């Protein structure tokens, strides 16, 4: 149980929907969601495929715990070959859509081919059909979601959709569900748009069951207590959200600023959690209205924010004066520190637009940061930017570009390329702060050395959600390591990567791992699912998933040469803070990492490793 044991296969070319049984042999080896969907994907798709061709597929997948009462167990992932990266992509989202899909009786939906005209998939439990999306094409995520609910006269429908960005081919379009929750990275929404698939709308009423209910409740209750009693998941995240990190990471000297020219932002406090909670003199209110939870989450780190009514972004636009999804740390960093913009409400507005039109705020902000550097260096002029004065710190430039990029208009088309293609196009490839085409998140690899290795080796390009060694290096979870040291980081990165692959495959949120170790997680999976889900086996499954993703990327054409960082991080030392004088020591960590992984010196899983993991 726990798996529904059913897959929905949607052939967009033929316009058909068909049910098929889940391959349970694979489920026992790859668990669910990220692992299991990637197994299906790698079996069915040629790694060399163009991400935007009809031959690419896109899978929406839940985990076995999705829809149960385990804390945070409402998640789903979108698996495809990423439009931004050309690497394996797996973007994970919270909200309520994942639970609805599971309650409708589906472990996975596999989309293949390309529809001739815009369509959306409507699912009511066993019944699935493709419907004409003519009325929604050209509309934002927010209007699409609302429109589908109104047109079907059913406010309980859950919707995942793309905005105009995904239709227009912006390279880092997201799939957004429940207004402001996104499968955000690597351009999974761009792939969805390339298939003329506007939205997936679901009503599910069938229920979810677990294998051993008594054991499950006991494990889940214990897990919830651990989260409640932990300082990060019990206090810090509910009160301040992930934004609790802004000042902490700035003090660590690892807050990349102005396209990574600096590692500390002088105005970090102005865009921090503290600023979001501060009461404004003008109207006696704060940016933060309340915290909010995703399905089943007892942490509730989500931010619901409201922009001051007189702020330039919303003064004449009442539709943006309402509360909506506020700034998380990565978005606040990318829209703020990476661009040098310190206007909190401007960042909140840009964040609203990223949600409304479905663009990844990390890649968007980082690309604007790179463009700002090129503008200040004279590589770009107002002739290129359509008149926008693209200096660091220009809030208006940032908010204008969020709308242009979200709609794929004007200079937004260029910003919509992502920093790699953009910087190459304008002759400055070295200014793209990315790995495998995907931009870094909010931790500088000079000030937190382990993250440099995590970025360089991440299977979906630079990312904080594939191996979050910040937990150990900055927060001391599970134990404190020196952020400036390279010793021991290879093992740390591998352990985080493998464990995260399990969490992402179970239906859980990775934020639980601030408090939970595999000793807390495995018993919950074991009680819900048949088969052996001991701590030891879970870690093998995690390692197996990691290696499977690696093999796909190697077959797609990536090599060990792509396991690197931009020259700026490898050569230019940090100018201030605890890491002053230090560049990334990637070369000291990478060979040991390959060895620990059981890979050759060229970064290829050895035959022994392939055999050991039964790949």
Partner 1 sequence: MQKSLSIEPEKCTGCLQCELACSYENEGMFNPSKSRIKVFDFHEQGRFVPYTCTQCDEAWCMHACPVNAITQDVATGAKIVSDDRCVGCKVCTIACPFGTINYNQSTGKVIKCDLCGGAPECAKACPTDAITFVDANWTGLEKMRNWAAKTDAAVQA
Counting contacts by CB under 8 A, is residue 304 touching partner 1?
A: yes
* Structure-derived torsion over alpha carbons of residues 35, 36, 37, 38, reported in degrees to the nearest 10: 50
Using the rule CB under 8 A, which residue among 15, 138, 169, 292 binds partner 1? 292
Residue 2 or residue 547: which is nearer to partner 1 going by CB? 2
Q: Is 450 left (phi over 0), alpha (psi -120 to 50) or beta?
A: alpha
How deeply is 57 buried, as exposed, middle or buried, from its count of CB atoms within 10 A (0-12, 13-18, 19+)? buried
Give least dist CB 292 to partner 1, A. Answer: 5
Looking up tokens 């939870």, which residue turns up? 293
413 binds partner 1 (CB under 8 A): no
| Token reading at 64 | 């076995």
What backbone phi and psi angles, to 5 degrees, belong to 582?
A: -110, 135
**Cβ distance to partner 1 smaller for residue 97 or 552:** 97
Burial of 1 from C-beta contacts in 10 A (0-12 / 13-18 / 19+): middle
Determine, following the binding rule CB under 8 A, whether residue 49 of this chain makes contact with partner 1.
no
Q: How far is the CB of 224 from partner 1 (least distance, A)?
A: 7
Residue 96 touching partner 1 (CB under 8 A): yes
Minimum CB distance to partner 1 smaller for 353 or for 545: 353
Q: DSSP characters for 340-361?
A: T---HHHHHHHHHHHHHHTB-H
Strand 108-112, strand 6-11: pairing: parallel
CB of 500 vs partner 1, minimal distance in Å: 23
Instruction: Report how far residue 33's alpha carbon sits from residue 204's, in angstroms, rounded to the nearest whole number.
Output: 18
In three-state secondary structure terms, 43 is helix
Cβ-based nearer residue to partner 1, 349 or 558: 349
Strands (E), 410-451: 434-435, 438-439
User: For residue 142, which of 132, 153, 150, 130 has the smallest C-alpha distance?
Assistant: 150
Residue number with CB closer to partner 1 (72 or 609):
72
Q: Which stretch binds partner 1 (CB under 8 A): 4-12, 167-175, 299-307, 382-390?
A: 299-307
Count of residues engaged in binding partner 1, rule: CB under 8 A: 37
Does 179 participate in binding partner 1 (rule CB under 8 A)?
yes
Q: Please give the residues from 529 up to 588 whose contact with partner 1 meets the rule CB under 8 A.
A: none
289 binds partner 1 (CB under 8 A): yes
As a whole number of Å, the end-to-end CA separation of the chain is 25
Q: At what angle are helices 489-506 and 449-457 packed, to 10 degrees?
A: 60
Q: Which stretch binds partner 1 (CB under 8 A): 302-310, 423-431, 485-493, 600-608?
A: 302-310
State the alpha helices, DSSP H only, in 358-448: 361-376, 382-385, 395-406, 412-415, 419-425
Nearest to 80, CA basis, from 3, 163, 194, 161: 194
| 459 contributes a contact to partner 1 by CB under 8 A | no
Positions in 100-139 near partner 1 (CB under 8 A): 103
Q: Does 349 bind partner 1 (CB under 8 A)?
A: no
HSE-up (13 A, CA, CB side) for residue 141: 30
Asked whether position 300 contacts partner 1 by CB under 8 A, the answer is yes
CB of 299 to partner 1, least distance (A): 9
Query: Applying CB under 8 A, does 610 fall inside the site for partner 1?
Result: no
290 binds partner 1 (CB under 8 A): yes
Cα–Cα distance, 180 to 351 (Å, whole number): 9
| Binding span for partner 1 by CB under 8 A among 10-18, 109-117, 285-293, 425-433 | 285-293
Name which of 401 and 527 has its Cβ closer to partner 1: 527
CB of 374 to partner 1, least distance (A): 38
Stated as kind and residue range, the H or E segment containing 491 is: helix 489-506
Q: Of 161, 186, 244, 584, whose CA–CA distance to 362 is shortest?
A: 186
- Report the nearest approach of partner 1 to the CB of residue 255 (Å): 28
Interaction of residue 346 with partner 1, rule CB under 8 A: no
Residues 55-84 that bind partner 1 (CB under 8 A): 67-69
Residue with tokens 């677990």: 210
Q: Within the chain, what is the greatest distance between any pair of CA atoms? A: 67
Among 49, 226, 228, 615, binds partner 1 (CB under 8 A): 228
Nearest to partner 1 of 26, 96 (CB atom): 96
Binding marks (x or -) toward partner 1, 305..324, rule CB under 8 A? xx---------------xxx
The two three-digit tokens of residue 60, written as one number: 């929406």
Tell me: does residue 224 bind partner 1 (CB under 8 A): yes
- The least CB distance from residue 348 to partner 1, in Å, is 13
User: Residue from 238, 336, 369, 566 that binds partner 1 (CB under 8 A)?
Assistant: 238
By CB under 8 A, tell whether 508 contacts partner 1: no
Can you say how many angstroms the Cα of residue 598 is from the centroid of all Cα atoms in its chain?
28
CA-CA distance, 545 to 549, in Å (whole number)? 6
Contact flag: residue 86 with partner 1 (CB under 8 A): no
Nearest to 272 by CA among 243, 249, 248: 243
Among 16, 205, 282, 391, binds partner 1 (CB under 8 A): 205
Q: Which of residues 143-162 bind partner 1 (CB under 8 A)?
A: 156
Beta carbon of residue 88, minimum distance to partner 1 (angstroms, whole number): 31
293 binds partner 1 (CB under 8 A): yes
Where do contacts with partner 1 occur on this chain (CB under 8 A)?
67-69, 96, 99, 103, 156, 179, 203-210, 224, 228, 238, 289-298, 300, 302, 304-306, 322-324
């Amino acid at each position: 149980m726990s798996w529904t044991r059913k897959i929905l296969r949607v052939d967009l070319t033929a316009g058909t929907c068909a049910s098929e049984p889940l391959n349970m042999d694979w489920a026992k080896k790859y668990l669910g969601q990220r692992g299991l969907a990637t197994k299906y994907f790698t079996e069915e798709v040629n790694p060399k495929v163009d991400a935007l061709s009809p031959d690419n597929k896109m899978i929406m997948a839940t985990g076995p715990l999705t829809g149960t009462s385990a804390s945070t167990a409402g998640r789903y992932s979108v698996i495809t070959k990423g439009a931004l990266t050309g690497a394996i992509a797996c973007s994970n989202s919270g909200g309520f859509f994942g639970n609805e899909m599971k309650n409708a009786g589906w472990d996975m939906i596999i989309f293949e081919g390309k529809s001739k005209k815009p369509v959306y998939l409507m699912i009511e439990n066993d019944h699935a059909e493709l419907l004409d999306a003519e009325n929604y094409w050209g509309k934002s995520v927010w209007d699409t979601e609302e429109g589908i609910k109104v047109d079907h006269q059913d406010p309980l429908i859950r919707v995942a959709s793309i905005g105009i960005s995904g239709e227009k081919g912006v390279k880092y379009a997201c799939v957004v569900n429940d207004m402001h929750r996104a499968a955000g990275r690597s351009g999974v929404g761009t792939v969805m748009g390339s298939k003329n698939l506007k939205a997936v709308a679901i009503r599910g009423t069938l229920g979810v069951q677990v294998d051993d209910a008594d054991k499950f409740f006991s494990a889940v209750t214990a897990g919830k207590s651990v989260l409640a009693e932990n300082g990060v998941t019990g206090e810090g995240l509910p009160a301040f959200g992930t934004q609790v990190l802004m000042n902490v990471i700035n003090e660590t000297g690892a807050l990349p600023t102005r396209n990574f020219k600096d590692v500390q932002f002088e105005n970090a406090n102005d865009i921090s959690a503290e600023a979001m909670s501060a009461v404004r003199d003008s109207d006696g209110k704060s940016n933060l209205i309340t915290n909010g939870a995703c399905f089943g989450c007892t942490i509730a780190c989500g931010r619901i924010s409201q922009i001051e009514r007189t702020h330039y972004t919303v003064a004449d636009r009442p539709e943006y004066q309402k509360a909506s999804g506020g700034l998380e740390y990565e978005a606040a960093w990318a829209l703020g520190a990476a661009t040098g913009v310190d206007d909190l409400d401007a960042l909140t507005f840009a964040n609203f637009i990223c949600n409304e039109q479905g663009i990844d705020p990390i890649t968007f902000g980082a690309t604007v940061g790179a463009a700002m550097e090129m503008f200040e260096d004279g590589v770009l002029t107002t002739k290129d930017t359509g008149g926008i004065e693209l200096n660091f710190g220009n809030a208006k430039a940032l908010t204008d570009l969020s709308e242009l990029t979200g709609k794929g208009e004007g200079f937004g088309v260029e910003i919509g390329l992502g920093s790699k293609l953009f910087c190459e196009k304008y002759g400055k490839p070295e200014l793209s702060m990315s790995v495998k085409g995907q931009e870094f998140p909010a931790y500088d690899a000079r000030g937190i050395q382990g993250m440099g290795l995590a970025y360089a080796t991440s299977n979906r390009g630079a990312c904080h959600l594939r191996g979050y060694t910040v937990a150990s290096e900055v927060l001391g979870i599970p134990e404190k390591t020196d952020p400036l040291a390279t010793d021991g980081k290879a093992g740390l990165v591998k352990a985080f990567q493998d464990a995260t692959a399990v969490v992402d495959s179970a239906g859980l949120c990775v934020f639980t791992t601030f408090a939970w170790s595999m000793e807390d997680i495995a018993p919950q999976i074991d009680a819900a699912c048949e088969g052996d889900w001991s701590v030891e086996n879970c870690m093998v499954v995690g390692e197996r998933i990691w290696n499977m993703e690696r093999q796909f990327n190697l077959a797609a054409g990536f090599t060990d040469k792509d396991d690197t960082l931009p020259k700026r991080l490898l050569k230019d030392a940090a100018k201030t803070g605890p890491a002053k004088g230090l560049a990334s020591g990637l070369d000291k960590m990478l060979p040991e990492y390959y060895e620990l992984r059981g890979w050759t010196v060229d970064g290829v899983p050895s035959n022994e490793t392939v055999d050991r993991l039964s790949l």
